[in-house]
Amino acid sequence: MRTALTLACLAAVLGASADAAAWCRMTSSRRAPTVTQPCVFPDPTTDPPEQYLEWRRPCTGIALSVSSPSADLTDEEVLGVLSRSIATWNAVTCDGTPIGYDLILMEERTTCDGPLYRDGGGNVNSVEFIYDWAEHMYDANAFAVTTVWHRRSTGEILDADMDLNERRGPYGICPPEGCDTRIVDLENVVTHEMGHYLGLAHSQERDATMYASAVAGEVLKRDLAADDIEGMCTIYPPGRPEGECDYTPRGGLDLDCQTGCCTVAPGRPGGPIWPLALLLVIPLRALASRRRS
Ligand SMILES: [Zn+2]
């Protein structure tokens, strides 16, 4: 609820500075955005100094879970949506040159039913539909939550997992003009969450894919705005990150989230690896009108 209230305040601020760049980056900070400071900037005086979050390798892959497919769409339809969202981000160019980062949809499927990172073990960047949303202690108003596992001291993203709230559906594939408010366009939600996967935080630009709230039936976030592209070109300009393209997750590929050692539970950060979860919520105004109806 605190998140939704903050977003409503941000929307009020936007009118005064519509032309300014509005995109923000994720950081290792635990401070939340505020009305006066919608972007959280790293504080270099903390121990360790706060960092911007970013992948330090030029290629990563993401896999859909087998354990929790959406009841509203076929597997093929969900995989098609994921492919299109990935292609949208991969297509970003900076002054005509492609960004220095490539994301693929893996052919393999995972057994993950929530975010997981094994420090010292195998991993997979996963996408899963969650039925027992409340058990994960997520915001009930959220369509989705992406957990970005990162090394706190360097800001390097190690793993990222996307949870989709099955209870906020039914999900569908809307026509280009959008759906009525009974259907949630899956590509609209997934494309926003992919931005978090890549290290972008919320933008105050209402037309941006990374704007923090959405309504059912909306398709605005399927396409990137100039604001989103500017953020990507800042984080991953052509030629960066350097290194060989290798889609293998850190610690090797392990598609099985049900077994294995070294589990780090989200929400209980211990040691140098921290999870950071950002979500896409229904705006406060939409919730209020829904309650009246
Ligand atoms: Zn979000």
Question: What is the per-residue pLDDT for 12?
Answer: 28
Cβ pair 25, 55 in contact under 8 A = no
Distance 22 CA to ligand 1 centre (A): 14
Share of the chain above pLDDT 90, in %: 62
Of the segments 26-35, 85-94, 112-121, which one has the largest average pLDDT value? 85-94
Question: What is the per-residue pLDDT for 274?
Answer: 65
Question: What is the per-residue pLDDT for 137?
Answer: 82
Distance of alpha carbon 246 from alpha carbon 57, whole angstroms: 8
Give residue 131's identity as a one-letter amino acid code.
Y
Question: What is the per-residue pLDDT for 268?
Answer: 36
**Per residue, what are the HEC states of the chain?**
CHHHHHHHHHHHHHCCCCCCCCCCECECCCCCCCCCCCCCCCCCCCCCCCCECECCCCEEEEEEECCCCCCCCCHHHHHHHHHHHHHHHHCCEECCEECCCEEEECCCCECCCCCCEECCCCECCEEEEECCHHHHCCCCCEEEEEEEEEECCCCEEEEEEEEEEHHHCCEECCCCCCCCCCCEEHHHHHHHHHHHHCCECCECCCCCCCECECCCCCCHHHCCCHHHHHHHHHHCCCCCCCCCCCCCCCCCECCCCCCCCCEECCCCCECCEEEEEEEEECCHHHHHHHHHC
Q: How do residues 242-254 score in pLDDT, each as one tens digit?
A: 999 999 999 999 9
Give residue 261's identity as a one-letter amino acid code.
C
Query: Is pLDDT larger for residue 208 or for residue 273?
Result: 208
On average, the pLDDT of the chain sits at: 83
Distance 261 CA to ligand 1 centre (A): 30
Cβ pair 130, 114 in contact under 8 A = yes
**From the centroid of its chain, how far is CA 60?**
14
Rounded mean pLDDT, 84-97: 97
- The Cα-based distances of 180 to 119, 214, 229, 260 in angstroms read 44, 13, 28, 44
Q: How do residues 191-201 score in pLDDT, each as one tens digit?
A: 999 999 999 99
Give residue 60's identity as a one-letter amino acid code.
T
- 78: its two tokens: 């969900």
Which residues keep their CB under 5 angstroms from ion ligand 1?
Answer: 278, 280
Distance 217 CA to ligand 1 centre (A): 17
Distance 200 CA to ligand 1 centre (A): 9
The torsion region of residue 252 among left (phi > 0), alpha (psi -120 to 50) and beta comes to: left
Do you find a cis peptide bond into 170, omega within 30 degrees of 0?
Answer: yes
Tell how strand 97-98 and strand 126-130 pair up. unpaired
The torsion region of residue 182 among left (phi > 0), alpha (psi -120 to 50) and beta comes to: alpha
Question: Is the model's pLDDT at 264 over the cut of 50?
Answer: no
Question: What is the per-residue pLDDT for 80?
Answer: 96
Distance 46 CA to ligand 1 centre (A): 26
Domains of the chain listed by start with CATH number: 2-292 (3.40.390.10)
Distance 213 CA to ligand 1 centre (A): 7
Going by pLDDT thresholds of 50, 70 and 90, the confidence category of residue 68 is: low
Of the CA atoms within 13 Å of residue 240, those in its CB half-sphere come to 9
Residues known to be catalytic? 193
Question: What is the per-residue pLDDT for 291?
Answer: 40
Share of the chain above pLDDT 70, in %: 80
Number of residues that this document lists for the chain: 293
Tell how strand 117-118 and strand 126-130 pair up. unpaired
Of the segments 133-137, 152-156, 260-264, 273-277, which one has the largest average pLDDT value? 152-156
Cβ pair 42, 150 in contact under 8 A = no
Question: Is the model's pLDDT at 224 over the cut of 50?
Answer: yes
Q: How do residues 112-140 score in pLDDT, each as one tens digit?
A: 988 999 888 899 999 999 988 888 888 88
Q: How do residues 49-63 score in pLDDT, each as one tens digit?
A: 999 999 999 999 999
Distance 125 CA to ligand 1 centre (A): 17
User: Residue 23: which of 259, 265, 196 has the closest Cα?
Assistant: 196
Q: How do residues 161-197 score in pLDDT, each as one tens digit?
A: 999 999 888 999 999 999 988 899 999 999 999 999 9
Q: How do residues 94-117 score in pLDDT, each as one tens digit?
A: 999 999 999 999 999 999 988 999
